[in-house]
Amino acid sequence: MENGVRKCLPLLLAHFQLPKDELQLNEYTLEELEIKLSAIIGYLLNHDLDRLMSACYKIDLSEQIFKDIITKAPPEEINRSLAREIIQRELQKVVTREKYRGLS
């Protein structure tokens, strides 16, 4: 999974408009990425909701998933739940791109 995490990092940096050092990881695990991304999401929820919404749109996170998390998840779990869904979506894109890379 380390390779998948490494490959989705540039996507997350671009979609969230973050400097490269904002998502530095030591172990490149899903849990480490989820923790770091959830902190960023927490900040954006409180200070720059438009930027968070824009990132979710670029990531192609389902609007329904976003709404469900925001309205149904316990407040202390919203950041982590959004981070988990966003990472899963980015990992899906990485897999799809690798699958079809050799076909063109």
Question: pLDDT digits over 32-59, tens only?
Answer: 999 999 999 999 999 999 999 999 999 9
How confident is the model at residue 19, as a pLDDT?
Answer: 94
Its domain, for residue 28, covers: 2-101
**CA–CA separation, 9 vs 27, rounded Å?**
13
Give percent of the chain above pLDDT 90.
84
pTM (two decimals): 0.92
**CA–CA separation, 32 vs 25, rounded Å?**
7
How confident is the model at residue 34, as a pLDDT?
Answer: 97
Assess contact for 69 and 81: CB atoms under 8 A.
Answer: yes
Assess contact for 28 and 12: CB atoms under 8 A.
Answer: no
| Residue 102: φ, ψ to 5° | -80, -5
How confident is the model at residue 13, as a pLDDT?
Answer: 96
First CA to last CA distance, the chain: 26
Domain count, the chain: 1
How confident is the model at residue 3, as a pLDDT?
Answer: 87
